[in-house]
Amino acid sequence: MDGKSERVPMNINDYGKLRAGQKAFVETLVGETEASVAKMLSKMTDDYPMVEDVMIATWTLVCQKVSVLENHANPQGWIMKAAKYCMLKDLEKRRRINQREAFVPNPAEISPECEEIKEFELLESLKSYLTEEERAVFLMRYYYDLSYSEMAGHLQISETAVRKRVSRAVQKLRKDGGELWNK
């Protein structure tokens, strides 16, 4: 032989042993790294629920990649990097959401003193055609370019309800606000 081991086909009993071995391997890894992962993530944010979510995502990833980790030279280091990556990704997502929410004003609070004149004129024009709810979703969708899921999260309603409101607003504007729609 050339030093490489030949792959022997596994029977069903060997597969069961391998899964049990992988389970024990993962449990050992989690036990060894859980405290240090939690400490590292806690230094990145003081949001404890977010830390828990990232830890769960990390352990899920460990379970999915167990065959990679079994052959990895430093599985604990791999787990730390994976947890850090998951946390950075979640923090960036939260930052983008907060940034967008900061730029979405409540249409009832818009005044010419605090917003651009163009937006104020648009809002005033929309008032004669749309309800307050329809104006809000119309502005979020077409003026601030938010996705339906982002709008649903902001308004705390279902995505289906958001889609219906936007559709209703567009239909009204096409029917009654032709000169506004074609600007």
CATH fold match for the domains 12-93 and 107-181: no
- Residue 70 CB coordination number (10 Å): 14
* pLDDT tens sequence across 100-138: 655 555 555 544 454 455 566 666 777 778 888 888 888
Q: Return the CATH number of the domain spanning residue range 12-93.
A: 1.10.1740
**Those residues with Cβ within 8 angstroms of residue 151's Cβ, 6 or more apart along the chain or in another chain:** 137, 140, 141, 159, 162
Single pTM value for the model: 0.48
Topology annotation, domain 107-181:
Arc Repressor Mutant, subunit A (1.10.10)
pLDDT by residue (tens digit) across 12-68? 454 455 577 788 888 888 889 999 999 999 998 888 888 888 888 888 888 888 888
| Stronger pLDDT, 99 or 73, i.e. the higher one | 73
Tokens 């230094």 belong to residue: 43
Cα–Cα separations (whole angstroms), residue 65 to 18, 59, 119, 146? 14, 10, 50, 35
Domain extent listing, the chain: 12-93, 107-181
